[in-house]
Amino acid sequence: MLFLYACLFFIGVNARCNTDNCLNAFNNHGGYASYSQFCSSFLATTYTATTSGVGPFPSQCKNLPSKLSSACSCIASTTSATTTSPTVSPDGSTTTITVTATVTGTCSATGFPMTVTTTVSSASPTCSATTLTVTSVSLSTTTTTVTTSTIAQPTCPQIVINGGFEAGILADWTNFNDNPDASFSVVTSALIPGGSRSSFYSAALIFDPLGPFLPGIPADMYQSVLAPQLCSAGQQYLFQMYVKTVANTCYVNAYDNGSGQSFIDILLMPGGTTPPWVEMSIVVTPGTSFELVVEAACDTQDTVWFDDISLTPV
């Protein structure tokens, strides 16, 4: 409604309503409520400057159209517009109210009225008169929909790569064996008594039956772990690893080679012809960059299987 404010400021509506005998007569006899029909009809009729004998209060208004027009314009009521502020509802539901105002008023110059009607969003009404009086404002509303949603913040992921060995090869892992008779490789589930723990592959520590077996000498595989930047220093992880063997007895260990921090170690016992997977798990705080080492030192040359090695944030 900027055009309305600018027009009112410029032409000074209140300044035009000077109290005189004619205006006092209307106000003293009920104002616009009593004379709305007369004023509506009068303001819609064209009079000449010399027209006489019209309207009430002949002694106060002198039957002059200019005085009657001024009084009717001053006592005309103005309906103020009210709006409802929109509210934002929880995720998935919304309510927004758009308000359009239509302004109707009279524009009078030297006692000759004309009526103007405009919508706030359209062009301002053209008026060459010196006074614009607002007599009514009507509102229409429409409802539109706004949808809000919550954006999930990224979380630190599981940080061991190819811990389930589903790449089908020993990708991201490296053999490092003090025992020349043993090495890690990836085998299919069909070659494992009782099968892989999940999916199709597992890692196997295999001993060469023709090699110089050294009981109790460890064989290792390792990978360099670099946590993403969104994993903060001091982040705790749940370390998990699953192992099994048919007939071997092994000391199995997992540790951070850089700091020497041992994650977990167990004495793995023979599991029989269909050995169960033995879970190794513990909560650790390894840092954001380290070398994860998995090793086994065994008493015999029977194969040992490893699967689903992971470090999951807690």
pLDDT at residue 114, as a whole number: 56
Residue from 161, 284, 314, 294 nearest 227 by CA: 161
Please determine, for residue 148, whether its predicted confidence score (pLDDT) is greater than 70: no
pLDDT at residue 149, as a whole number: 65
242: alpha, beta or left? (left if phi > 0; alpha if psi -120 to 50): beta
Max Cα distance, the chain (Å): 135
Torsion of CA 276, 279, 280, 285, to 10 degrees: 160
Assigned CATH for 174-313? 2.60.120.200
Which of 10-19, 132-141, 161-170 tops mean pLDDT?
161-170
Average the pLDDT over each of 62-71, 118-127, 207-216 and give the range with the smallest value: 118-127
Q: DSSP state, 95?
A: B
Q: How far apart are CA 103 and CA 132, in angstroms?
A: 11
Average the pLDDT over each of 10-14, 113-117, 228-232, 256-260 and give the range with the smallest value: 10-14
Which residue type, as a one-letter code, is found at position 140? S
Which residue type, as a one-letter code, is found at position 119? T
* Coil, helix or strand at residue 13: helix
SS3 content of the chain, % helix, strand, coil (to 5): 15, 35, 45
pLDDT at residue 13, as a whole number: 34
Please determine, for residue 287, whether its predicted confidence score (pLDDT) is greater than 50: yes
pLDDT single digits (tens) 20-66? 888 888 888 877 777 777 887 777 777 766 566 677 888 888 878 77
Mean pLDDT of 310-314: 94
Please determine, for residue 177, whether its predicted confidence score (pLDDT) is greater than 70: yes
How is the chain split into domains, by residue range? Answer: 2-80+93-144, 174-313
Q: Is 27 exposed, middle or buried (0-12, 13-18, 19+ CB in 10 A)?
A: middle
pLDDT single digits (tens) 263-276? 999 999 999 999 99
Q: Give all strands of the β-sheet with 96-109 in edge-to-edge order.
A: 112-119, 96-109, 131-144
pLDDT at residue 108, as a whole number: 54
Question: pTM of the entire structure?
Answer: 0.53
Q: DSSP state, 205?
A: E
Please determine, for residue 305, whether its predicted confidence score (pLDDT) is greater than 90: yes
Please determine, for residue 12, whether its predicted confidence score (pLDDT) is greater than 50: no
pLDDT at residue 185, as a whole number: 96
CA dihedral sign, ordered 119, 120, 126, 129 = positive
pLDDT at residue 150, as a whole number: 65
pLDDT at residue 135, as a whole number: 63
Mean pLDDT of 173-177: 89
Please determine, for residue 116, whether its predicted confidence score (pLDDT) is greater than 50: yes
* Coil, helix or strand at residue 234: coil
Q: How far apart are CA 101 and CA 106, in angstroms?
A: 17
Please determine, for residue 230, whether its predicted confidence score (pLDDT) is greater than 90: no
